[in-house]
Amino acid sequence: MPYLIVLTTIATEQQAAALARSLLDAHLAACVHIHPIRSLYRWKGELVDEPEWRLVIKTAARHHQRVEAHIKAHHAYETPEIVWVALDGGSDEYLRWLDESLLP
């Protein structure tokens, strides 16, 4: 599919906002939603239970490698979550807006 939702998590609201703005400024995202979440996971053999912020990034599939590189370059985690999900569809108007928003 030509469009993706990219998911990542980050430690603070300020880091989330900075990453979202940098993706938007680079025209790698049309829109980024930021949600507070609670994450439980294993890291280096330990169980971790902590608050995080999830970014839901809307972009075009053609940008996935640049989005991944951008997240890695601007993320504080040693191994940031970077998961993309192909969009099966959407309204013509929304997808047209998404495309137009990614143009420099």
Express each pLDDT in 61-79 by its tens digit: 999 999 999 999 999 999 9
Task: Give strand pairing partners of 35.
Answer: 54
Q: What integer pLDDT is reported at residue 104 of this predicted model?
A: 85
34, 20 Cβ separation under 8 angstroms: yes
The number of folded domains in the chain is 1
Judge whether residue 15 has pLDDT over 80: yes
The pLDDT of 53-65, averaged and rounded, is 96
Length of the chain: 104
Give the domain range for residue 21: 3-101
Task: Give strand pairing partners of 83.
Answer: 7
CATH number at residue 54: 3.30.70.120
2, 59 Cβ separation under 8 angstroms: no
Which tokens hold the place of 93?
């108007």
Express each pLDDT in 25-42 by its tens digit: 999 999 999 999 999 999
Q: Closest Cα to residue 99, out of 56, 60, 57?
A: 60
Judge whether residue 1 has pLDDT over 70: no
